Amino acid sequence: MTFVERYGPWALVTGASAGIGAEFARQLSEMGLNLVVVARRRKRLEDLARDLESKNKVQVRIVTADLSEPDFLPGILSVTNSIEVGLLVNNAGFGLAGHFLEHELEKELGLLNVNCRAPLILTHEFGRQMAQRKRGGIIFVSSVSGYIATPFEASYAASKVYELFLAESLEYELKKNGVDMLALCPGSTQTEFHEIAGSRAVAAMGVQPVVDLAIKKLGKKPVAIPGWHNRLLVYLLKFTPRRVHTYFAGKVMGNLVRP
């Protein structure tokens, strides 16, 4: 069975206007999947859609949505009700760097909604459809931060634990229904993430190899960690106490937070 036969004919990608999400859209369209691209910035989605439709001869549908809002789902369903979504990429997310108590509560709740609530809702909705068809795939873009309690990025790291554990747990539950799960756990990546979060990037990878690995590992493993240095970090964490991880993560992040 080909990738399109297993996960097509349509893929839904959140946070598709830039970075890892846009790269997922590019690579999946090159494989022949039609796309539903979701993000807040419509102009960027329109430019992406025109480019992919022209180059790869696929269909691209656009949904302008803010996943931090409580009522985002009906807008997505209005575009997807007439099509078969076989692959969901829960990519949308953002971080907040700095002292937790200095952040506005509204921003912290927005992070929780985008990083945790939205993937839960979308996975429940489209996972049910996939389970009924006995085929499909769902990718959660988590992070190596999901392995490390991280001072000065506390809620972001906690949200990535949620996505990592949700993906691993559902992989066990839904395997019998033919639905593959993958937690993609990149480290620092060349995206807008650090600029928005208010931190500096260190040893950032390009988006292409990150997405390459996700597509390669979907259906084969429940977790994929791009970059040998990130895999080494996660491996070494097994041999040191959690309080040590937290201490050193706090020292590093304290120096990376931008004033």
Query: Could you give the CA distance from residue 87 to residue 178 in angstroms, rounded to a whole number?
Result: 12
How large a percentage of the chain has pLDDT more than 90? 84
Mean pLDDT computed over 215-235: 95
**From 7, 43, 55, 160, active-site residue:** 160
Residue 67 confidence (pLDDT) above 60: yes
Count of CB atoms situated within 10 Å of the CB of 230: 20
Q: Which structure tokens are listed for 248?
A: 């050193």
Q: Which of 43, 107, 134, 156 is catalytic?
A: 156
**31-45, 142-156, 223-237, 241-255 — which is least confidently predicted?**
241-255
Number of neighbours of residue 201 by Cβ within 10 angstroms = 16
Q: Kindly state the DSSP code that residue 199 receives in the 8-state scheme.
A: B
Q: Is 157 helix (H, G, I), strand (E, B) or coil?
A: helix
57 catalytically annotated: no
Give the pLDDT band of residue 118 (cuts 50, 70, 90).
very high
Q: Is the pLDDT of residue 50 over 90?
A: yes
176 is catalytic: no
Instruction: Please identify which residue in the block is written with the tokens 């002292």.
Output: 99
Least confident of 25-29, 87-91, 255-259: 255-259
pLDDT at 16 over 50: yes
Closest to 194 measured CA to CA, from 118, 257, 151, 101: 257
pLDDT at 197: 47
Structure pTM?
0.93
The per-residue pLDDT for range 180-203, each reduced to its tens digit, is 999 999 998 776 555 554 555 556
Range of lowest pLDDT (127-131, 174-178, 194-198, 214-218): 194-198
